[in-house]
Structure formats: C-alpha cells, structure tokens
Amino acid sequence: MSPPPPPLSTPLIANPVLPILPTPSPIPSLSTTAWFELGKKYPKARLRAHKWDWISSSGTWLPHYEFQTIAKITHIWDGLNGHLPMRELNITWGARWKRNLRRTKTEASRRSKVVNLVDKLAAKHR
C-alpha cells in the first residue's frame, strides 16, 4: 500500500529532478496533480474519510471502501459517515474501486439495485 496522498492544502513542491526544466520546476508530480483534481471534484472531508492507494499504471488514486451497515435507504444514495456514495465511486473509478473482492462486489450489486431504482424513478418525473 502506498503512503497516504498529500493533504489537499499542500503547496506545490519543486521537482529539481527534471534536467530539461529550470530548477526549481513548478510542475507537481502526477500523483499530486491527480489528488488536487480529486479535490476539485469532491469535498475534502469526503476524500479524507477514505484510505487511498496510488495506482501508477493508471495514474490515479484508488479509494478503499468498506461497506457499513445502513439504517435508511438514503444512506446508500448519500454515502455514510462522510464517505463517497457508491454511485460516485462507480462514476469516477468504475468497477476498480471494488478491487475484485467478492464481498465488496456482492454488496455493491445489492446496493446498486437501490441506486438504479432511484435513477429510474427520477427519470420518470423529469
């Protein structure tokens, strides 16, 4: 597992390793850039609720997600305890966030039925 991503408020760090560019370089690392892009898309508190792995082959941060017990159906839609909702995980990371774990894929399938039903009902009322 990679170290956690830098905080969203971290200033850009000079990268003196690139000999072509003047030192210090204002170009942040790919992982830092990807983290700042996530920070533009999602609230910082939601991002901090997850553990993350840097996937260098795809140049993306991949969240860890542990399903929690839900008390209301709206928890599936809104996300629980500050975590990203499942539909956002699917939109941004597709199936990769499930990490090919059987228990995660099974529970995601169950909960996706609720998400799909809400989407279907919302489409009827537009």
Q: State the pLDDT at residue 48.
A: 94
Tell me, yes or no, if the pTM score tops 0.75: no
Q: Give yes or no: residues 72 and 123 share one domain.
A: yes
pLDDT at residue 8, rounded to an integer: 58
79 with 95, same domain: the answer is yes
Residues 123 and 110 in one domain: yes
- For 100-119, how does the pLDDT look when each residue is reduced to its tens digit (9 = 90+)? 999 999 999 999 999 899 88
Q: Which tens digits make up the pLDDT trace of 33-48?
A: 999 999 999 999 999 9
- Domain stops at, among 32, 47, 64: 64
84, 89, 93, 95: CA torsion to nearest 10: 140
pLDDT value of position 54: 93
Question: Do 52 and 73 lie in a common domain?
Answer: no
- Looking at the structure, do residues 4 and 55 belong to the same domain, yes or no? yes
Q: Which residue range(s) make up the domain with 45?
A: 1-64
**Total count of domains within the chain:** 2
- 57 and 72 in a single domain? The answer is no
Residues 6+ apart with CB under 8 A from 105: 95, 98
